[in-house]
């Protein structure tokens, strides 16, 4: 029966090629708009580290001065160096890392030095964030403490500078004129969003060079990203140990999300101590954000993407409404044919099924067309100048979603005409 309906559908669609083409185009445009924006949204709102995003936490303390203080307000966005180093030393969580972005002129041999993005980090950074290692090792906590002159390179830099990960090991680079040895090379790694530091763009690539935090401080590497200072005295060096400035991201990895309240209490106790000692002007006010919570707090999905998604959904709605109208028109034009089929013994249910099969065919073709158009749409997004242009790709779940959306859209557009068709009474039509 299904094959027969398919055959009927094929004939019916070919009988009115103009109308069929227009209906298909309408459906395909709606599907494409929807899929393009949904894909962008899906990529940008993705969980960058699904295996542990629920037990990785971002730490915030309220270390600011009293100016602009509102009880119950928000704590600082980042931590100070003094707080970061203290928490790190107390090591209250199974793993913890302090990190910040920076930049340095990096020189290989006697080459022209090149300005390179640097990430300052402490030892746990790599295992915590599942940074994949291609060769060598990352540095140890002991090397952290000793401000060892060691660095880890990312995959493209190792390739560019030394022709590969293995070749880069044990090579020496001059970082701001100071020799540092390459102990490890990462495999290609691009967590999206760039969750562990969203202060300077949530969709950028991780840094090219990783340097132990203490080493970066000792070598006086320049920090980048945002920093905010408070107090009345001018700050001559933001990175000084006791500078009243927040500029570091502090992360902890707990055994499970259930340990978060206990860790929050620890932060409360720490803040209370600092408040009593006079270091914190404000009463304790701490926050612990899980990865997804931190991304939401920072609104890493740009408002424009939400707007586009809404617009695309509305657009799809109009497209579905229009194709309902077009199919309705076509259906009722075929009242004669339906009348004959009914008179020859087809039940209402048969007629309904026949027309739904036709809608499914439309949905199938619309889906293929829509996917082609989405592919073009995504190519446009990638060619665009948004900061997320590079990371947008269509993956398997989105392909499935595309098929789902097309099917639902086509069925929605088909139900009403099919119902109307099933309602055609045989007698009236045969008469004419």
Partner 1 sequence: MDLMPILRTLRKHKTAATLIVLETAVACAVVANALHLVGERLRLLTRADGLPSADLLVVHAVPSGTQDDAQRRQITERDMAALRALPGVASASFVNQMPYANYNNFSGVSRDGGKDARNYHANMHAADASVFKTLGLTFTEGGPFADGPTPHMQDARDDFSLVPRGVVINTDLARALYPGESALGKPLYMVKPFTIIGVSDNLPMTHPQAKPEGQRYAALFQVRPSVGEGFHVLRVAPDTSAAARADLVQRVRRTLMAVDPQRELARVEWLDQMRRDYDASDRQMAWLMAAVTAVLLMVTTGGVVGLASFWVQQRTRMIGTRRALGATRGQVLRYFLAENALLTSMGLVLGMAGAYGLGLALMRHWEVAPLPAWYLPAGAAVLLALGQLAAWIPARQATRVSPVVALRG
Binding site for partner 1 (CB under 8 A): 19, 22-23, 26, 29-30, 33, 67-68, 103-105, 112-115, 175-177, 222, 232-236, 303-304, 306-308, 311-312, 314-315, 317-319, 321-326, 328-330, 332-333, 384-387, 416, 420, 432
Phi, psi for residue 143 in degrees, rounded to 5: -65, -35
Task: Give which of 103, 99, 164 is closest to 126, Cα–Cα.
Answer: 99
- Longest distance between any two alpha carbons in the chain, whole Å: 98
Cα separation, 351 vs 418, whole angstroms:
8
DSSP assignment of 267-287, as one string? Answer: HHHHHHHHHHTTS-SSPP-EE
In angstroms, what is the minimal distance from the CB of 33 to partner 1?
Answer: 7
In angstroms, what is the minimal distance from the CB of 411 to partner 1?
Answer: 17
Cα separation, 335 vs 340, whole angstroms:
9
In angstroms, what is the minimal distance from the CB of 241 to partner 1?
Answer: 17
CA distances in angstroms from 247 to 84, 104, 233, listed in the order given: 10, 17, 18
In angstroms, what is the minimal distance from the CB of 99 to partner 1?
Answer: 21
DSSP letter assigned to residue 248:
B
In angstroms, what is the minimal distance from the CB of 283 to partner 1?
Answer: 18
According to DSSP, the residues that pair with 211 across neighbouring strands are 120
DSSP letter assigned to residue 163:
S
Contact call for residues 37 and 309 (beta carbons, < 8 A): yes
Which residue, chain included where needed, has tokens 């639902």? 408
Q: Is the Cβ of residue 282 or residue 330 nearer to partner 1 in the bound state?
A: 330
In angstroms, what is the minimal distance from the CB of 408 to partner 1?
Answer: 17
User: Which two tokens mark 424?
Assistant: 């055609």
Q: Is the Cβ of residue 40 or residue 286 nearer to partner 1 in the bound state?
A: 40
DSSP letter assigned to residue 13:
H
Task: Give which of 64, 60, 105 is closest to 79, Cα–Cα.
Answer: 60
In angstroms, what is the minimal distance from the CB of 145 to partner 1?
Answer: 24
Q: Is the Cβ of residue 128 or residue 173 nearer to partner 1 in the bound state?
A: 173
Cα separation, 385 vs 341, whole angstroms:
57
Cα separation, 247 vs 227, whole angstroms:
4
In angstroms, what is the minimal distance from the CB of 11 to partner 1?
Answer: 20
Determine the straight-line distance between the first and last CA of the chain, rounded to whole angstroms.
29
């Amino acid at each position: 029966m299904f094959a027969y309906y398919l055959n009927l559908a094929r004939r019916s669609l070919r009988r009115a090629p103009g109308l069929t083409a227009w209906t298909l185009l309408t459906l395909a445009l709606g599907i494409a708009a929807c899929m393009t924006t949904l894909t962008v949204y899906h990529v940008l709102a993705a969980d960058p580290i699904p295996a542990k995003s629920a037990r990785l936490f971002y730490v915030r303390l309220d270390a600011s001065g009293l100016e602009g203080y509102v009880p119950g307000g928000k704590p600082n966005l980042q931590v100070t160096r003094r707080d970061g180093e203290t928490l790190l030393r107390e090591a209250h969580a199974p793993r913890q890392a302090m990190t910040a972005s920076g930049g340095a002129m990096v020189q290989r041999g006697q080459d022209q030095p090149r300005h390179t993005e640097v990430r300052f980090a402490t030892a746990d950074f790599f295992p915590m964030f599942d940074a994949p290692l291609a060769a060598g090792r990352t540095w140890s906590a002991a090397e952290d403490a000793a401000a060892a002159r060691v660095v880890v390179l990312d995959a493209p830099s190792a390739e560019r500078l030394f022709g590969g990960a293995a070749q880069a090991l044990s090579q020496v680079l001059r970082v701001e004129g100071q020799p540092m040895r390459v102990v490890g090379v990462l495999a290609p790694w691009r967590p999206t969003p760039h969750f562990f530091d969203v202060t300077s763009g949530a969709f950028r690539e991780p840094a090219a060079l990783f340097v132990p935090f203490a080493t970066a401080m000792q070598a006086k590497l320049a920090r980048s990203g945002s920093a905010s200072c408070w107090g009345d005295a001018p700050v001559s060096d933001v990175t000084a140990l006791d500078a009243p400035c927040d500029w570091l991201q502090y992360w902890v990895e707990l055994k499970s999300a259930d340990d978060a309240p206990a860790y929050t209490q620890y932060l409360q106790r720490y803040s209370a101590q600092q408040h009593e000692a006079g270091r914190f002007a404000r009463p304790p006010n701490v926050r612990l954000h899980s990865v997804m919570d931190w991304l939401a707090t920072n609104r890493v999905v740009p408002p424009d993407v939400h707007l586009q998604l809404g617009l695309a959904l509305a657009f799809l709605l109009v497209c579905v409404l229009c194709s309902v109208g077009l199919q309705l028109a076509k259906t009722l034009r075929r009242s004669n044919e339906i009348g004959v089929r009914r008179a020859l013994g087809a039940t209402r249910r048969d007629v309904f099924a026949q027309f739904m099969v036709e809608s499914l065919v439309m949905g199938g073709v619309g889906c293929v067309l829509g996917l082609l158009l989405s592919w073009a749409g995504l190519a446009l997004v990638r060619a665009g100048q948004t900061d997320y242009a590079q990371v947008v790709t269509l993956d398997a779940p989105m392909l499935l979603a595309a098929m789902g959306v097309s099917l639902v859209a086509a069925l929605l557009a088909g139900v009403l005409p099919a119902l109307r068709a099933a309602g055609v009474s045989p007698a009236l039509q045969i008469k004419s």
